[in-house]
């Protein structure tokens, strides 16, 4: 219920635009013409996303399996055009004699994906696969059917089309811990790759930007959020009153507070597809297949070679051969699904769905994610709290304002909880979105009819200004799984995040809440009348609202996986305990690799996009060295 209530609230400040639009044409219009254009789109398109029903399976791609058409041979076949696949496509296409095929189930980015504030609205569109978890035993108890939302991006750009667009790097401790498992992944090894694709601009004079830790010549823009008001000022001041620094969290020290760094340029989201794939569309050695679902990898078990990929396009099955390698970049849900459909996975599970096991590997067995909790805070500030849709559009045209950040995300604190032993290493991410406000906005949105739900669940008095916040446990211990529902590639996999399966995670998220509450108790936050609104869940109201029992109950009902799934094709040295090696090769293979979030065996203290893209940069170099620079 919380997820739906928040989604409906977020939609009210968003515009849903689903048609592909020539961006240059829009920006060549006069300001007044652009305003009218966006106003018309708001009026025409908002309802479509509001009533959109996400898919429950992949039947839209279903094809007659009895007829297979040849699609030709390629040197490298990449499955999935998300954060990793998009980078790999561009880097491998830099070698003119290599022929690259990129297979993507979704479509190209459009004008709606360019507007950061539409990230949440696009959850209700074809840009989201629409995955949900299996019913949970320990968490997501307040959600319909006790099923957690498991949003995953579908399109050229993957989840970078619909996520919060935050740029945050893995830190020293996370990567050095990873390097102890698979060498070559230390912070020293990976920092050059995390920098390579960045194009950083210090867009605010007050932003804590450390030039020693930024690149200004890459493809992916990195800019600071433009939201700057009484709430963000109090947020940073309160952070400093707790003893934390106002810092560039992408530099050597992560603990502290800052305006959020986004992959935006002049207020527009630049997703991975737009940054890396669209610029190479006309290259003669590159082929992009959109609206195409990879359904199976052709394997020769005797030679341990991935020979090619079967995929569905417009209800026809095609086969593309791989002269050199097949690389899966379909994400932590669908890369393991495709491996298992192709005969690589836990033998007992594959036997249960009627798939012959070619290689017994723990595919899908280490699903991990951060855990999040959303809350509402009220305050007494009214500066720029409400703007008309026209004013929001004017701001957006000029590259600033609430439409230039997803969910109006503005500010972040990374901090260690009291149970975190290493106080230089954060285990919590705490974000505020200070633009949520008043009944005026709600009443001006005809289709918005969920104010009572919001008030009941999040405990907010809609007569007063409020803002949204999220606190996140970054160091979770719960382990879930991805398994097959059947042998059909058109059935969605069974996703079990097992949220709070390890009870330590419940206590950890409670400690995270206590740290956030400590921030609200600072003089700076009290000066603006900021306080967390009481959450109202009927099964929890019997407990004292300040007690651990109350918060355990609240978290079991309303907390959720953070849409940062990892681990299902984990790297390691032992094929009994891992799926891929340090070079991202699937164990037993020389030409089948996985490069996406699924290769990381544990959660990092950051949003995962940067390290995923860095992994792709690392793999591109590894492949070039292997084929081009052999002795």
pLDDT digits (tens, 9 = 90+) for 375-411: 889 899 887 656 778 888 898 889 888 778 766 789 9
Residue 57 lies in a domain: no
Looking at residues 233-250, what average pLDDT do you find?
Answer: 97
Q: Exposed (0-12), middle (13-18) or buried (19+): which is 254, by Cβ within 10 Å?
A: buried
What is the pLDDT confidence band of residue 466, given thresholds at 50, 70 and 90?
Answer: confident
Confirm whether 24 is domain-assigned. no
Which residues have CB under 8 Å from 384's CB, separation 6+? 229
- Evaluate if residue 444 carries a pLDDT over 60: no
Residues 6+ apart with CB under 8 A from 422: 173, 416
Nearest 5°: CA angle at 580, between 344 and 76? Answer: 80
Percentage above 70 pLDDT, the chain:
89
CATH number at residue 301: 3.50.50.60
pLDDT band at 11 (very low <50, low <70, confident <90, very high): very low
DSSP 8-state class, residue 95: S
In 170-291 the beta strands, taken as DSSP E runs, fall at 198-200, 220-224, 256-259, 261-262, 264-265, 268-269, 286-289
- Contact at 8 Å (CB) between 360 and 517? no
Residue 299: φ, ψ to 5°: -120, 135
- Domain that residue 91 falls in: 68-109+273-368+484-491+565-628
Q: For the residues 166-173, what does the mean pLDDT come to?
A: 95
Q: Looking at residue 145, what is its pLDDT? A: 94
Q: Is residue 337 part of a domain?
A: yes
Q: Considering the domain boundaries, does residue 294 fall inside one?
A: yes
Q: Which residue has the higher pLDDT, 458 or 266?
A: 266
Average pLDDT along the chain: 89
Percent of the chain with pLDDT over 90: 73
Lowest mean pLDDT among 109-123, 239-253, 318-332: 109-123
Within 8 A by CB and 6+ apart from 40, the residues are none
- The whole-number pLDDT of residue 230 equals 93
Find all residues with CB under 8 Å of 75, minimum gap 6, and list them: 98, 99, 100, 322, 323, 324, 325
pLDDT of residue 3: 40
DSSP letter at 537?
Answer: -
The band of 120, judged by pLDDT with boundaries at 50, 70 and 90, is: confident
Residue 294 has pLDDT above 80, yes or no: yes
pLDDT digits (tens, 9 = 90+) for 529-556: 999 988 888 899 999 998 999 999 999 9
pLDDT of amino acid 118:
73
Per DSSP, what are the bridge partners of residue 566?
368
* Residues 6 or more apart in contact with residue 338 via CB below 8 angstroms: 79, 294, 295, 296, 297, 328, 330, 489
Q: Give domain status of residue 501, yes or no.
A: no
Distance separating alpha carbons of residues 263 and 270, to the nearest angstrom: 6
Assess if residue 301 is contained within a domain.
yes
Question: Is residue 588 one of the residues assigned to a domain?
Answer: yes
Residue 193 in contact with residue 614, Cβ under 8 Å?
Answer: yes
- What's the average model confidence in pLDDT over 484-513? 98
317 has a pLDDT exceeding 50: yes
pLDDT for 435 equals 65
Domain presence at residue 614: yes
Please report, in range form, the residues annotated as the binding site for FAD.
159
Sequence-separated (6 or more) residues with CB below 8 Å from residue 356: 343, 350
Q: What is the mean pLDDT of residues 336-348?
A: 99
Pairing of strands 411-415, 481-483: unpaired
Q: How many whole angstroms separate alpha carbon 11 and alpha carbon 451?
A: 12
Which of 180, 178, 55 has its CA nearest to residue 125? 55
Query: Do residues 470 and 447 lie in contact, with contact meaning Cβ atoms separated by under 8 Å?
Result: no
Number of domains making up the chain:
1
CA proximity to 582, closest of 88, 185, 192? 185
Q: Model confidence at 370, in pLDDT bands (50, 70, 90)?
A: very high
How far CA 235 is from CA of 242, 358, 418, 510, in Å, comes to 11, 55, 20, 21
Residues making up the binding site: 159
């Amino acid at each position: 219920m919380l997820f739906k209530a928040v989604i409906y609230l977020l939609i009210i400040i968003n515009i849903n635009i689903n048609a592909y639009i020539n961006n240059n044409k829009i920006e060549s219009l006069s300001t007044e013409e652009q305003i009218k254009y966006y106003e018309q789109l708001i009026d025409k398109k908002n309802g479509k996303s509001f009533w959109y029903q996400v898919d429950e399976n992949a039947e839209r791609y279903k094809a007659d399996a009895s007829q297979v058409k040849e699609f030709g041979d390629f040197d490298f076949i990449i499955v999935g055009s998300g954060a990793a696949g998009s980078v790999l496509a561009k880097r491998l296409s830099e070698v003119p004699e290599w022929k690259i095929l990129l297979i993507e189930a979704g479509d190209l980015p459009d004008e709606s994906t360019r507007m950061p504030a539409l990230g949440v609205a696009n959850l209700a569109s074809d840009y989201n696969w629409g995955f949900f978890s299996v019913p949970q035993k320990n968490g997501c108890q307040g959600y319909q059917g006790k099923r957690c939302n498991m949003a995953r991006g579908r399109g050229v750009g993957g989840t970078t089309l619909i996520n919060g667009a935050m740029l945050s790097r893995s830190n020293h401790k996370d990567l050095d811990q990873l390097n102890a498992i698979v060498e070559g992944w230390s912070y020293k090894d990976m920092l050059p790759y995390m920098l390579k694709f960045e194009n950083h601009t210090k867009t605010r004079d007050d932003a804590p930007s450390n030039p020693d830790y930024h690149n200004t010549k890459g493809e992916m823009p990195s800019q600071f959020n433009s939201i700057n008001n009484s709430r963000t000022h109090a947020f940073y001041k309160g952070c400093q009153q707790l003893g934390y620094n106002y810092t560039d969290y992408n530099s050597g020290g992560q603990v502290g507070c800052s305006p959020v760094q986004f992959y935006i340029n002049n207020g527009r989201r630049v997703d991975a597809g737009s940054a890396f794939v669209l610029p190479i569309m006309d290259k003669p050695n590159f082929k992009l297949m959109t609206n195409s679902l990879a359904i199976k990898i052709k394997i020769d078990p005797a030679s341990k070679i991935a020979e090619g990929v079967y995929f569905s396009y417009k209800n026809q099955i095609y086969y593309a051969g791989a002269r050199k390698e097949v690389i899966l970049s379909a994400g932590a849900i669908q890369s393991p699904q495709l491996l298992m459909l192709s005969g690589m996975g836990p033998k007992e599970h594959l036997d249960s769905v009627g798939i012959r096991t070619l290689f017994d590997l723990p595919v899908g067995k280490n699903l991990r994610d951060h855990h999040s909790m959303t809350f509402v805070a009220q305050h007494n500030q009214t500066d720029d709290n409400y703007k008309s849709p026209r004013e929001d559009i004017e701001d957006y045209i000029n590259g600033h304002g609430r439409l230039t950040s997803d969910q109006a995300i503005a500010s972040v604190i990374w901090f260690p909880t009291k149970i975190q032993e290493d106080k230089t290493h954060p285990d919590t991410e705490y974000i505020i979105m200070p633009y949520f406000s008043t009944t005026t906005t709600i009443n001006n949105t005809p289709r918005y009819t969920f104010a009572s739900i919001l008030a009941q669940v999040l405990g907010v008095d809609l007569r007063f200004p409020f803002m949204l916040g999220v606190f996140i446990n970054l160091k979770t211990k719960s382990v879930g799984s991805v398994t097959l529902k059947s042998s059909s590639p058109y059935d969605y996999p069974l996703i079990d995040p097992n949220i709070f399966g390890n009870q330590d995670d419940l206590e950890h998220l409670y400690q995270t809440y206590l740290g956030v509450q400590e921030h609200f108790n600072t003089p700076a936050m009290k000066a603006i009348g900021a306080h967390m609104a009481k959450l109202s869940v009927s099964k929890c109201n019997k407990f004292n609202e300040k007690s651990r029992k109350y918060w355990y109950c609240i978290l079991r009902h309303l907390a959720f996986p953070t849409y940062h799934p990892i681990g299902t094709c984990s790297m390691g040295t032992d094929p009994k305990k891992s799926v891929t090696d340090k070079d991202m090769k699937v164990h037993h293979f020389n030409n089948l690799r996985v490069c996406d979030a699924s290769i990381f065996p544990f959660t990092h203290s950051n949003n995962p996009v940067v390290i995923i893209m860095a992994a792709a940069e690392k793999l591109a170099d590894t492949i070039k060295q292997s084929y081009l620079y052999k002795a």
